[in-house]
Structure 1
Amino acid sequence: MFHDHRLVMRDGMLIGALDRMCATLEIAPSQAELAKERYDGVGGWLADAEDPLLKAMGIFLQGSTAIGTTVKPIGSNEHDVDLVAHAPNLGHWVEPAALKKAIGDRLKANGHYKPLLVEMARCWRLVYANEFHMDITPSIPNRSCHMGGELVPDRALKIWKPSNPKGYKALFLERVKLAPRFRVTKSLHTQDRARADIEPFPEQVHFKGLLQRVVQILKRHRDVFIAVNEIDISLSPISVLVTTLASQSYEYCVRTFIYESELDLLFDVIRHMPDFIETCRVDGQMQWFIWNETTKGENFSEKWNGDPKRAEIFFTWHTRALADISRLKDVEGLDGLKRQLGDAFGSAPAKAVIDSITDDISTSRQKGTLGIAPRIGLVTGITTATVTPVRANTFFGR
Structure 2
Amino acid sequence: MADTHYSYLVNEAMARRKNNTQITKTLRESLVMDSIQDSRRHLEALALDIKMVNDHIKVDESIFGEASVDYDKIANKLVEKLHWPNESIRIIPQGSVSTKTLIRSPDNSKFDIDAVCSVDLSMIEVNDPMDFFDKVGLAIEEWEPEAKRRCWKVDFKGRRYYIEFTPSTPLNKVPQTATNQIALSPSNRYRDKALAVVNTPSRQWKTSNPEGFSSWVNDQSSRPLLRWLIENSMQESYSLDSVIPVPAQEVEISDTLRVAIRLLKRHRDMSVKRNYIEPNLKPISIIIVTLLTQCYEGLADKGAVYTHPIELLLDLVELMPYMIEHRANDYWISNPTVEGENFAEKWNENPQLKNSFDIWTNLLKENLNEILAADNLDSRRQIIKEVFGCTATQSPPSPIISGLAQNRPTQAHKAPPTKGLA
User: Per the shorter chain, which TM-score range?
Assistant: 0.7 to 0.9
Of the three residues 56, 59, 77, the one matched with 1:27 is 59
Aligned equivalent of 2:318, options 253, 256, 271: 271
Relative contact order, CA 8 A, sep 6+: which one is greater?
2
Amino acid at match of 2:146: V
Structure 2 equivalent of residue 240 of structure 1: 286
Change beyond 3 A, Cα 1:94–1:25: farther
DSSP-derived class of the 1:257 partner: coil
Q: Which amino acid aligns with 1:212?
A: R
1:79 to 111, 116, 135: 111
Distance 1:206 1:224 in 2: 22
Tell me if 1:330 matches 2:377.
no
Partner deviation per Cα, 1:106-153 (whole Å, 9 max, x = no partner): 001x4xx34xx3333432222244511111012222236350211223
Query: 1:388 corresponds to which residue?
Result: none
**For structure 1, which segment, 49-58 or 99-108, has the greater mean C-alpha deviation from structure 2 after superposition?**
49-58
CA distance in 2, matches of 1:227, 1:264: 28
Count of aligned residue pairs for this structure pair: 326
Q: Would the aligned equivalents of 1:342 and 1:349 in 2 still touch at CA under 8 Å? A: no
1:86 corresponds to which letter in structure 2?
A: S
Task: Quote the residue 1:7 is aligned against.
Answer: 39
Tell me by how many angstroms 1:200 deviates.
6.4
Distance 1:295 1:53, change over 3 A: farther
Residue pair 1:253, 1:268 contacting (<8 A) in 2 also: no
Matched-pair contact (CA < 8 Å) for 2:272–2:278: yes
Post-superposition CA distance 1:67-116 (Å, at most 9, x none): 1000112323323200111222269x8544332221111001x4xx34xx
Using the aligned pairs only, state the percent identity. 24
Q: 1:105 matched to which residue of 2?
A: 138
> Residue 165 of structure 1 corresponds to which residue in structure 2?
210
Shift of 1:246: 0.6
Q: Give the equivalent residue in structure 2 for 1:389.
A: none
Structure 1: give runs of 5+ residues left out of the alignment: 184-197, 352-398
1:251 aligns with 2:251: no
Q: After superposition, where does 1:35-74 map in structure 2 within 5 Å? A: 35-50=67-82, 56-74=88-106
Shift of residue 268 of structure 1? 0.6
User: Structure 2: which amino acid aligns with 1:120?
Assistant: K
For residue 201 of structure 2, give the secondary structure of its aligned residue in structure 1: coil
The amino acid of 1:76's aligned partner reads N
**Whole-angstrom CA distance in 2 between matches of 1:7 and 1:350:** 33
Whole-angstrom distance in 2 between the partners of 1:242 and 1:330:
25
1:257: Cα distance to partner? Answer: 3.0
One-letter identity of the residue aligned with 2:58:
E
Q: Aligned AA for 1:346? A: G
One-letter amino acid of the structure 1 residue matched with residue 40 of structure 2: V
| In structure 1, C-alpha distance between the alignment counterparts of 2:165 and 2:274, rounded to whole Å | 31
Alpha-carbon offset, residue 307 of structure 1: 1.0
Counterpart in the other structure of 1:176: 221
SS at match of 1:49: helix
Partner of 1:88: 120
Contact 1:222 1:317 in 2 (8 A): yes
Q: Which residue pairs with 2:163 in the alignment?
A: 134
| Residues 131-210 of structure 1 aligned to structure 2 (within 5 Å) | 131-143=160-172, 145=186, 147-148=191-192, 149-154=194-199, 156=201, 158-182=203-227, 207=253, 209-210=255-256
1:335, CA displacement in angstroms? Answer: 4.8
Structure 1 position 261 matched with structure 2 position 290: no
Question: In 1, are the aligned partners of 2:49 and 2:384 still within 8 Å (CA)?
Answer: no
Q: TM-score when scaled to structure 2? A: 0.69
Q: Which has the higher strand share?
A: 1
Q: Cα 1:264–1:276, aligned 2, differ >3 Å: closer, same or farther?
A: same
Greater CA drift, 153-162 or 229-238: 153-162
Letter in 1 for 2:208: S
> How much has 1:248 moved relative to structure 2?
1.3
Larger Rg over CA atoms:
1
Change (3 A) 1:229 1:65: same
